[in-house]
Structure 1
């Protein structure tokens, strides 16, 4: 499986009150074609900043971004715009990311107009097609956002992101603003569309249950640093970093008989000054080297002796 996105030492900084805030700091990560990579972490961990920097909505301060082998880190706006049809984003709150002054048809056709794709009649037909794909009636075309529920608005946001047939979709907390009863519908829609349109997805969320349902691999962020990356099953059953263990221990367990009432408190390490170096401990499991002690690896890098530091 080949990479669609490669990040090398990617960093994004902001000035907050005269101090430098390292929202994303030294992240190196590959995203494979066709997979769904979940990105988890508490609020302020850098998840959204990473997604927006990856999209080049934010200009990175350090590092490199490669899309299908082509570096796009510092491409000027006139060069990056044609590439935007290949990677799109679904934002957390559709009421903020979609214009209330446009009807739904205009919202869906705008990306095609910006990219100078199709004739006016073809753009209209494409908008109708996308409404059908996301489960909305054709009559939605002439309506405005205030006439729709939150779940329907998010479906419109998804349709707008996919109207260009992108290769990569970044979904930033796409269901966190929705009622629980609607969340499953939107998640299932995303999974169905990913399969139908052969999409690669980056799924950003603080909800570990949702990430488990959606993802093939999971990356853990903490205060702008990437601490652990592994296939979903491996990460959820064999977390290594104390922060990952802390996140997983916070998943609610409804059955009181299954709760661990004697759970020990997990002490998190302080944020390191420099970005952690990730080490492969086997089974596609990468973890920050500062929390493990690796004594030996054979030529296949299989784990032989690992102890928690």
Structure 2
């Protein structure tokens, strides 16, 4: 499938490129894009958000469609930095700019992994940039992220994004129920924050597991369940669970502060593994349930569906 992009001045402003007059050469655009993909995939996975950020950025620079397709088809880390920049001369500003954009691309999925930071440092070392310069660039990036979070909290005090999209969706088949349930929790309840990287990994895996469990079940007769019914049930669960998870998150924050980021990332310590809360409450059909958060979400949400 070909990529078709229509750019406006607002797109350039979004990426901070409103005052860029000259489009870099084809070779420079491709090298820049490949380097960003190598950084964003250094944790072993290139998320859709990360890839789309890179493609959007390169498009905003003014790259042609064939350049964007070239970058889109690039297999992450199939070329090392030395190979990528073998025939490309990078200016000082493009070097520091690429480091900054590396932080942005790698965190497009709301997670800045230690391996991604190592890839950024490796590229910076190749460019001959001093460590203190990289530290300053990272600090600017983090300051901007914090400012963005403050802006969201101020502009969307009742929550972001809007929950109404879940109220208008219907779910009949098991797969549709699983998708709706997983989407709600991943997007609304368990949002990754800067200091909760392990939490994000755990939830992503948990959500996928629940989807797979539901899809494995065959020939199960279940009544039609509208999205509104699902929403109301989940809403009750969220109210009770958030009260407990707020306490858990506070203790997790204290624990992770005492660990190095490298140790947390390498061991993939989830907040459940760190704190291991054994008494979390669940509510369905007006009844309270007690059990670990790893319990089968699907069977509690849909009592008529046997647990796999």
Q: TM-score range by the shorter chain?
A: under 0.3
Greater C-alpha Rg: 2
Q: Calculate the TM-score normalised by the size of structure 1.
A: 0.24
Q: Calculate the TM-score normalised by the size of structure 2.
A: 0.25
Q: Which has the higher contact order (CA 8 A, sep 6+)?
A: 1
Structure with the higher fraction of residues in helix conformation:
2
Structure with the higher fraction of residues in strand conformation:
1
